Amino acid sequence: MEYIAALTPSAVMAVAFTALIVTIVRSQGGANKAKEDAAVDAALAQTDAAQATRADGSGGGARA
């Protein structure tokens, strides 16, 4: 019976890892993909606008 006790943690971890991978694959795309893409695009646009403002020198702040 020692072999069962030795193999149980490995088997449990393998099942949990497989479930994690399946969950990750299933959550890719679907109905929420458009919302997630829009949120990322908005964040990137905001970052680009902030960098453009800094590059123009009108970003404020004292520079020596």
At 64, is the pLDDT very low, low, confident or very high (cuts 50, 70, 90)? Answer: very low
User: Does this model's pTM top 0.85?
Assistant: no
Which DSSP symbol is given to 62?
Answer: -
Instruction: Judge whether 44 lies within some domain.
Output: yes
20 lies in which domain range? 2-51
Average pLDDT over residues 20-43: 85
Which DSSP symbol is given to 1?
Answer: -
CB contact at 8 A, 58 and 52 = no
> Does 30 score more than 80 pLDDT?
no
Contacts of residue 53, defined as CB under 8 A and 6 or more positions apart, other chains included, come to 59
Q: How far is it, in rounded angstroms, from Cα 50 to Cα 7?
A: 55
Chain center to CA of 23:
14
Instruction: Judge whether 56 lies within some domain.
Output: no
Instruction: Judge whether 42 lies within some domain.
Output: yes
Instruction: Judge whether 59 lies within some domain.
Output: no
Instruction: Judge whether 58 lies within some domain.
Output: no
Give the number of domains in the chain: 1
Q: For tokens 């695009």, what's the residue?
A: 41
Q: What is the pLDDT of residue 15?
A: 97
At 9, is the pLDDT very low, low, confident or very high (cuts 50, 70, 90)? Answer: very high
Instruction: Judge whether 60 lies within some domain.
Output: no
